[in-house]
Amino acid sequence: MSFFAVDNPKDISEGDYDRITFLDAPGVDPHPYNPEFLKRDRDKYTYDRFAHYGTTYVCSGYGFAAVGRYDLHEKHPFYCKVIREHFQRHYFRMGLLAHYQRAALLLFADDLASAIKRLEGKGPSEELKDRDFRQHIETLQMRFLKFRSRSYFPEVTNQLHPR
């Protein structure tokens, strides 16, 4: 997650916005990615509802950034005060929740793979008779059910821009 405050967001090139979106290193190439991919998918990654205020959000699924105009010198700073506070309080927590859920799902996948590895060399009828395997899978199913009912949130808000 990144928060950028710059003098003039319009000075940021499309290539730099793309690098920010996909968490890539700085570069000089004005078009670091396939133009057809970007033309087709840029709208999926960019939320510019507040671009007229100089604020744009970009999100690639594994990275999230807010880019806006540095306005602390103004009488009523919007980006550096209000948006920064939203970023620190709301967006950070949503990002933390998304990382937690992904980590939990990866743990379940790893546990299931480990259980299946124990069946190596056994035929289908032997697999069904393996009591330890069945108990392990039953425990895994119960843990997953608890996770799904207590800790998995397919939607944490009905507001448009956090989604």
- pLDDT grade for 125, boundaries at 50, 70 and 90: confident
Comparing CA positions, the residue from 30, 20, 23 lying closest to residue 66 is: 20
What is the average pLDDT across 79-94? 89
Per-residue pLDDT tens over the stretch 150-163: 888 877 777 766 66
Q: Compute the half-sphere exposure of residue 72: CA atoms within 13 Å on the CB side of its CA.
A: 6
Domain match, 93 and 63 both? no
Please tell me the predicted confidence (pLDDT) of residue 48.
86
Q: Are 63 and 23 in contact (CB under 8 A)?
A: yes
Domain match, 7 and 63 both? yes
Domain match, 89 and 148 both? yes
Q: Is residue 72 within a helix (H) or strand (E), and if so which, with residue range?
A: none
Domain count, the chain: 2
Checking if the pLDDT of 33 tops 90, the result is no
Torsion (CA) 55, 160, 63, 108 in degrees, nearest 10: 170
Q: Report the C-alpha gap between 100 and 148 in whole angstroms.
A: 13
The answer to whether position 43 is within a domain reads yes
The answer to whether position 162 is within a domain reads no
Range of the domain at 34: 2-70
